[in-house]
């Protein structure tokens, strides 16, 4: 499980999201404390379809 702060999230959003899509959960911290978790949704992992 990867941990990222908000600055890294801002600067590396696409890279971090690619990891999440591949199945690597991401914990986002704010001021050093966990604030959110991102995980892949099986329905979305294949891409967004209208």
pLDDT, tens digit (0-9, with 9 covering 90-100), for 9-42? 999 999 999 999 999 999 999 999 999 999 998 7
43 to each of 1, 4, 24, 32, 47, how far by Cα in Å?
21, 24, 16, 31, 8
Q: Which fold has domain 2-38?
A: YefM-like fold (3.40.1620)
Which pTM value belongs to this model? 0.76
pLDDT, tens digit (0-9, with 9 covering 90-100), for 2-17? 999 999 999 999 999 9
Q: How far apart are the first and last CA of the chain?
A: 30
The pLDDT assigned to 30 comes to: 97
The pLDDT assigned to 9 comes to: 96
Residue 49 has pLDDT above 80, yes or no: no
């Amino acid at each position: 499980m990867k941990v990222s702060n908000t600055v890294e999230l801002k600067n590396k959003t696409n890279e971090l999201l690619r990891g999440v899509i591949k199945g690597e959960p991401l914990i986002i911290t704010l001021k050093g404390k966990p604030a959110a978790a991102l995980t892949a949704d099986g329905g979305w992992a294949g891409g967004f379809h209208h």
